[in-house]
Chains A and B, each alone.
Chain A
Amino acid sequence: KAGVTQTPRYLIKTRGQQVTLSCSPISGHRSVSWYQQTPGQGLQFLFEYFSETQRNKGNFPGRFSGRQFSNSRSEMNVSTLELGDSALYLCASNGGQRGEKLFFGSGTQLSVL
């Protein structure tokens, strides 16, 4: 089975721009979660999608948004980028019933200049 695919791997943007990140989960998985990872805060939950519906959202501003398509692929968008948005953005494909089997992609490393 192919793993979780995230594109692009690296992005460099400037303040004020917007960015869209893409995630293809493991085939058959219908739930996708997004996380932000920074050295200071560690891994923080952004949101989760299941069958094209946002099921839960973390404590992030409205500039962070996402969506899921009928084929379970997901995108997240960050508008009006700030320097503090520089981070590794990770997508996870949910293979369990209780969150016990999250499989992560390699992430998108976003640098905001």
Chain B
Amino acid sequence: QKEVEQDPGPLSVPEGAIVSLNCTYSNSAFQYFMWYRQYSRKGPELLMYTYSSGNKEDGRFTAQVDKSSKYISLFIRDSQPSDSATYLCAMSDPNYGGSQGNLIFGKGTKLSVKP
């Protein structure tokens, strides 16, 4: 079983739709949960991070973490064509070997928002 599972899509939605992106994980030691957006031929861009369970909102983006189910989500409201990108979830275990730069990534979900 992979540590982090993410549906690769592709996911295609009309402009203005609410988008739901999800990841599941197996390692209960993960404490920080991140969402990155990656445009073609670019590096991943940090969208949001959350610590432990709960919700966090930033503009049109909401991140949810349910540690009991080992399930995280990213919701995008009023989706725009400029949101078309690959979305990657990432997780960290800050106690792993003292490293703070070793994240475990999902493989990404490719999102297309049609005008």
What is the bound-complex CA distance between A94 and B101, given in angstroms? 7
Cβ-defined contact, A90 with B101, below 8 A: no
Closest 7 CB pairs of A and B: A33-B101, A104-B43, A56-B99, A99-B92, A48-B101, A42-B107, A98-B94
Q: A43-B44, A90-B44, A107-B43 are in contact. Are A102 and B103 (CB under 8 A)?
A: yes
Which A positions have Cβ atoms within 8 angstroms of B?
A: 4, 6, 31-33, 42-45, 48, 50, 55-56, 58, 90, 92, 94, 96-107, 109
What is the bound-complex CA distance between A75 and B51, given in angstroms? 31
Over the window 92-115 of chain B, the binary record of Cβ atoms lying under 8 Å from chain A Cβ atoms (1 yes, 0 no) is: 101011111111111110000000
Cβ-defined contact, A32 with B101, below 8 A: yes
Question: Could you jot down 20 A-B contacts, CB within 8 Å?
Answer: A6-B43, A32-B101, A42-B108, A45-B101, A45-B102, A48-B100, A48-B102, A55-B101, A56-B102, A94-B101, A96-B49, A96-B100, A99-B32, A99-B103, A100-B51, A100-B92, A102-B34, A102-B90, A102-B103, A107-B42
- Count residues of B near A (Cβ-Cβ below 8 Å): 29
Give the residues in chain B near A104, CB-CB below 8 Å.
Answer: 36, 43-46
Q: Does B80 contact A (CB under 8 A)?
A: no
Cβ-defined contact, B92 with A98, below 8 A: yes
Cβ-defined contact, B99 with A100, below 8 A: no
Cβ-defined contact, A94 with B102, below 8 A: no
Cβ-defined contact, A42 with B106, below 8 A: yes
Give the residues in chain B near A100, CB-CB below 8 Å.
Answer: 32, 34, 49, 51, 92
Cβ-defined contact, B99 with A43, below 8 A: no
Cβ-defined contact, A99 with B102, below 8 A: yes
Cβ-defined contact, B99 with A106, below 8 A: no
What is the bound-complex CA distance between A107 and B43, given in angstroms? 6
Contact of A55 among B32, B42, B98, B105 (CB under 8 A): B98
What is the bound-complex CA distance between A93 and B90, given in angstroms? 15
Over the window 38-70 of chain B, the binary record of Cβ atoms lying under 8 Å from chain A Cβ atoms (1 yes, 0 no) is: 000111111001010000000000000000000
